[in-house]
Amino acid sequence: MKKNDVLEMNGTKLRILDVKGNKALAIDCNCTSVPYWTPTGELENWQKTSLLLPYREFSPKDREEMHKRFTLISGILPYIGDKEMRMRKIHEAEAESGINRQSIKKYLFRYLAYQDIEALAPAPKRDKRDLTQDEKNMRWALSRFFYTKNRNSLHTAYTMMLKERYCNPSGTLLPEHPSFYQFRYFYRKNRNMQKYYIQREGLKKYERDYRPFVGGSVQDYAGTVGVGMLDSTICDIYLSDDAGNVIGRPILVACVDAYSSLCLGYSLSWEGGTYSLQGLMQNIIAEKKEHCRKFGIMLPDGAWPCNGLPAKLITDMGKEYISETFSQITELGVTLVSLPPYRPELKGPVEKFFDLIQGSYKPYLKGKGVIEPDFQERGSHDYRKDACLTLNDFEKIILHCIVYYNSQRILEYFPYTEEMLAGNITPYACSVWDYMVGQGRANLIQTTRQQMALTLMPRAKGRFTQYGLKANGMRYHNPNYTERYLKGGEVSVAYNPDNTTEVWTIENGIYTAFRLIEARFEGLGLDRAESLKDGQRRLVRVHREASVQGSIDLARHIQAVADNKGKNVKNTKNIRENRKKEQEKTHVDYMGVAVNE
């Protein structure tokens, strides 16, 4: 027998902590008693065994706690065999640490029994107890009647639970049933607010109105100018045409730089979708002074300095932004990023742009078609009757608002750097933009209007045939492609839906124009050309039955003539003389006949 041996008899295990002469200091490994001295002779019949802790994974927090506990008892370990000194050290540890001595003794005895610091680790958390039948019924009732789109009250859910689970077949309430207060306590204890909003209000409303808004600053992912954010909105105003007829509310599409909040371009039209995006892209790369001059606005120098395409465009999941046509813009070197739905805070600059622009013109256009907050409420004013501005008038107003937004609106919360403050950069979007461009930190792509238009054209499959290039059911020709017509094969074709006169093949990034062969489609839009072809097909379809009947009649007449002549042996000699005789017999003097008539 020696120190640290583990002995066992009848299920009891002892660890020998020390041996002095014929006495041994032992501790019950069940940690039910303090260490005690016992004669070694009483332990002669005990069997040697082992004592190991079960394997488990420890978190960093658990390891921190076990070392903290070992530090607490380390000053007591040298005095384990001396009861008086041991108790004194335990009291000192209690006074110094503020931990009660019962806990200190528990840590000490457990370590002595196992001789392993892992014995001091906090006990693993116990699994949750099983729910009682009443708790299971409450959980069922909450899921069935409370967390639903019907949005029942807690009292209603409780009543429905009693009806379904605590009534006899005749509908009488059983005496043993949980109270409403127990039901409410169970709900509050296990309440899940995310589930509450999603199940009762719907996922879309949760994403839009209730979820936590924990997005960071846009400068976190836009470290310089050249990250454009796209969005569109229906303007809060009714417009009319030149004759005074109400047309409706126009669609405003805009691109705002995420870093400087400069409006890079806009499109105002009656059409949305990819059509408005084509207008927006053209406006982004356009010379802004020339554009404003068309509306009688003289743009000051530097007020709208952008004429390059952002190298990164951030959009939402709108169908026009994720369409195949708009994704073709990546061919110019642009990176497209689609944000998840219902995350407006991730493109805050463009959302704020619409608020500021509409907030700029609304106070001055009241009574001229502007929509008030009571729009569509019962008994509210019909704002359509106030419409008096045309689209051209309204676009002038929008342009003035954008010029103010870019060059005179103060960026109060912009994160200015020390270099910007030292350079006395004025707090306007156009100034921040100019500064970053001047520093060579603008992530912009230069392109032409023609290249942009070709890139954003819709595309179709074309096929080279002996009859030319066939695309969209029409034939096109380029004099340099004779060999391709003969070889055949497919090719990608860009086309203009508004004019079928030309299409462009796309091969290795090169656009080649082909001219329309069929003159009847010249200058027509694709819809008009398709309508013309449909009309032709309908016309043919209407007369097809009469044509078939005519073919049958023709066959019958031919056969009737042929059947009148029987088969006889023909003389094949003197064919030339016979032919001459028949010519003289059938020859007619057409001139003489015409003169004598």
275 in helix, strand or coil?
helix
User: Per-residue pLDDT tens for 570-595?
Assistant: 677 888 888 888 898 888 888 888 88
- The whole-chain average pLDDT of the chain stands at 87
Strands (E), 497-534: 499-507, 510-516
pLDDT of residue 415: 82
- The torsion of the CA quartet 99, 104, 105, 108, rounded to 10 degrees, works out to 180
Rounded CA gap, 253 and 250, in Å? 10
pLDDT of residue 463: 94
User: Per-residue pLDDT tens for 377-420?
Assistant: 676 788 888 899 999 999 999 999 999 999 999 988 888 888 88
Tell which residue, 258, 256, 255, 249, has the closest CA to residue 267: 255
> In what side-by-side order are the strands of the sheet with 6-9?
36-39, 23-28, 12-20, 6-9, 47-49
Task: Give the pLDDT mean for 490-497.
Answer: 93
pLDDT of residue 127: 63
Domain 218-445 CATH (choose: 3.30.300.130, 3.30.420.10, 3.90.950.10, 3.40.50.720): 3.30.420.10
Compute CA distances 63 → 58, 92, 109, 386, whole Å. 6, 24, 19, 74
User: Per-residue pLDDT tens for 87-100?
Assistant: 999 999 999 888 99
User: Per-residue pLDDT tens for 6-20?
Assistant: 888 888 888 888 888
- Which amino acid, residue 209? D
pLDDT of residue 208: 64
Q: pLDDT-derived band of residue 215, with 50, 70 and 90 as boundaries?
A: low
0.95 exceeded by pTM: no
Q: Which residue has the higher pLDDT, 208 or 311?
A: 311
Rg for the chain, CA atoms, rounded: 46
Rounded CA gap, 237 and 245, in Å? 14
